[in-house]
Structure 1
Amino acid sequence: MEKSLGRHLIAEFYDCDPQAIDDVEFVEEKMKNAAIIAGATIVGSSFHRFLPYGVSGVVVISESHLTIHTWPEYRYAAIDLFTCGEDTDPWKAFEYLKQVFKAKRTQVFEHLRGDYRTIGIPFEASHKAVKGGVKHE
């Protein structure tokens, strides 16, 4: 079994509600909610709306970060959910965002970050690591 410091979901959201993913206040609120739902502690956030359309933003969490970049004209959002420790679950954030942005299709890959073996951390170390690593579609 693999053990790592964190999990990083790289998600593609297709056929989203274009109004939802073009509203910077809505996107920021939902990204912050996703962090809380994942069990993370929010440190700060920064979001920007582009003209004529599109939103980019980050929620910095004690456990890493959640980011989003949207293309409402294509009904598409690129989302990264990177959490560390066993007490956070990026999949909870993923499912919530899929619902609130009304994504009809998604593609997501989970990457383990900070592999214990590669770093040289003893498997029995007390750091709150995560186990697993699965590709999901």
Structure 2
Amino acid sequence: MSEAGAHRLHLPAGSHLLADLSGIEASRLGDCDELEALLRSAAAAAGARVLHSHFHGFGDGYGVTGVVLLAESHISIHTWPEDGFAAVDIFMCGASRPQTALELIQAALAPQHCQLNTVRRAAGN
């Protein structure tokens, strides 16, 4: 089978949610361990399988950047406690439910506003 033919057999499709969450209490946005546990829980609730995660805090009063790598893709978060803002990126394929992950994250962070952009991702025709 040609390389092009093999590519047609693999048609990953998924949803990529880009959520800008604002109006969040600063205390919810600066703890690496809490945010990592939240994103791991969100992945599990969505039916995704966690492969690895890495989070980095920028110091007391500053934000966190983190990513949870999934067999189905990833969830990432970048926070700005001083602005009450978090950017959340959820890309999942297969039978996983990215909207469920976002709902869990929103319930925990309690933003006043959410601006959501959803992109359908697919390869092939």
Scaled to the shorter chain, the TM-score interval is 0.7 to 0.9
Q: Residue deviations 1:31-88, cap 9 Å, x none?
A: 1000001110000100000024100000000000000000000000000000011x10
Among 37, 57, 67, which residue is 1:58 paired with?
67
Q: Is the 8 A contact 1:11 1:109 kept in 2?
A: yes
Normalising by structure 2, we get a TM-score of: 0.87
Q: Percent identity?
A: 36
| Equivalent in 35, 38, 46 of residue 30 of structure 1 | 38
1:18 and 1:100 map into 2 onto residues whose CA distance is: 13
Report the Cα offset of residue 4 of structure 1: 6.0
Deviation at 1:115, TM superposition (A): 4.2
TM-score (norm 1): 0.79
Amino acid at match of 2:20: E
- Return 5+ residue gaps in structure 1 as ranges: 118-137
What is the 5 A alignment of 1:1-137?
A: 5-52=13-60, 53-85=62-94, 87-117=95-125
Question: By percentage of residues, which structure has more helix?
Answer: 2
Secondary structure at 1:116 match in 2? coil
Partner Cα distance (1:94, 1:60) in 2: 16
Contact 1:44 1:61 in 2 (8 A): yes
Shift of 1:94: 0.6
Give the number of equivalent residue pairs: 114
> What is the distance in 2 between the residues matched to 1:18 and 1:41?
29
The runs of at least 4 consecutive aligned structure 1 residues that moved more than 4 Å come to: none
